[in-house]
A = this chain, B = another copy of it.
Amino acid sequence: MVPRYARPAMTAIWEPESKYEIWFLIEAHATQKLAELGVVPQSGAKALWDWWKTDPGIDVAAIDAKEAVLKHDVIAFLDWVAEQVGPEARFMHQGMTSSDVLDTTLAVQLTRATDLLLEDMDALLSAIKRRALEHKYTATIGRSHGIHAEPMTFGLKLAQAYAEFDRSRARLVTARAEIATCAISGAVGTFANIDPSVEEYVAQQLGLSVEPVSTQVIPRDRHAAYFAALAVVASSIERLAVEVRHLQRTEVLEAEEYFSPGQKGSSAMPHKRNPILTENLTGQARMIRSYALPAMENVALWHERDISHSSVERFIGPDATITLDFALARLTSVVDKLLVYPDRMQKNLDKMGGLVHSQRVLLALTQAGITRDNAYRLVQRNAMKVWESDGRMSLLELLKADEEVAAAMSAAELEDKFNLDYHFKHVDTIFARVFGE
């Protein structure tokens, strides 16, 4: 975790306080159910909850001090709680193993983290949608291979981003379900010392599903799927970030990361406005993507469990969620405040002197009865002139002046083929598909 790429709400999930709070909830809910089952006295559960209602706070330092002596984190925690609650606390943790607490806690942390990510995603989607509607018909050149292809609108670019992040949202929802399970099943998952109904009860209280079969640990294919989903989301962040970086290039300059009117550039050169936010996002995407790998290598634990996954998760649990949270928020801000330059888009669109319309003219000439080969020759000879003039000549004017072309199509007919609206007639259809309205 890099502090400058971290936001407080997400970071808090990974703080010791949160962890211990979840530990308490698991232990208290389990004791509650054990009391119902008659395994421990009702007074045991009541004592825990009575104390908790006093909003006591967790003394992390005190627990850490105990752990330093006891060399066992869960025992240290239970000891500390027992000191606060008194003798009734001795019924806590009956029949449970440490992993029951640890793995279920990770599930709670990851679901909380995902809830924040889903909020981030909604904010991003909302920002993209607003800008997409704003620029629904802002003409711009579509590019394949970095080369001008055919006209489209800037709104369409954003509609594509919206659809992609809408899929990302669905992937997060699926990923959340993957890891939202509770396991309280004992040393090898047989429920030898605890009834399965305890697991069911705790799961329900924490908003989790029951892990159908665990083996001290919750199986790590779940976490692999989770971090893989985050990696895919990060890749989509990279895509939009790279788009902005391209649009902000000096020669393109169709859009820019926000730059306040009075803001000084890094030097005397007023053009020196660097897309550093989106470059920064590009790097963050690389990191989030990389975390999927060790998560996948964690799946093949030995027999019922080994603990090699644990050191991995101490890194990637916080790092992947905190960085993705930051990246989504940063991207939202970039989209929200993006400076869009429709004039420059039009200028770039016109840069080729109308060559982007050549294919339509070609088709029209064919439909006017000229053979395809001939039509190609006619368009090509005029297009080459435009190309060689570096866009200073106009394809439309040259075609009008070409006698062979003029014989087949009138000036008005030709002009019609240079109409951008031709390309925009289905924008509505696409917007309806994407935004459902």
Interface residues of A (CB under 8 A from B): 1-2, 4-5, 72, 141-152, 156-157, 159-160, 163-164, 167-168, 171, 174, 178, 186-193, 196, 210, 212-216, 219, 221-222, 224-225, 228-229, 231-232, 235-236, 238-239, 241-243, 245-246, 248-252, 266-276, 279-287, 289-294, 296-312, 314-316, 319, 348, 351-352, 355-356, 358-363, 376, 379-380, 383-384, 386-387, 422-427, 429-430, 433-434
Contacts and interface: CB of A to CB of B under 8 A. Distances in A.
| Number of copies of this protein chain within its complex | 4
B228 A303 contact: no
A306 B142 CA distance: 12
Contacts of A174: 174
8 contacts: A2-B311, A146-B248, A163-B219, A212-B433, A249-B252, A269-B356, A279-B308, A290-B290
Contacts of A304: 142-144, 149, 152, 157
A298 to B, nearest CB: 7
Given A164-B221, A235-B221, A269-B358, A290 B283 contact: no
A307 B279 contact: yes
B305 A144 contact: yes
A221 B232 contact: yes
B171 A213 contact: no
Given A4-B314, A275-B145, A150 B270 contact: no
A231 B232 CA distance: 13
Contacts of A315: 2, 287, 319
B422 A192 contact: yes
A378 to B, nearest CB: 9
Contact of A231 (B190, B222, B296): B296
A245 B323 CA distance: 30
Contacts of A141: 250
A196 to B, nearest CB: 5
Contact of A219 (B160, B196, B297): B160
A361 B193 CA distance: 12
Contacts of A316: 287
A376 B293 contact: no
A322 to B, nearest CB: 11
Nearest to A378: B268
A280 B307 contact: yes
B423 A300 contact: no
A191 to B, nearest CB: 4
B306 A279 contact: yes
Nearest to A99: B144
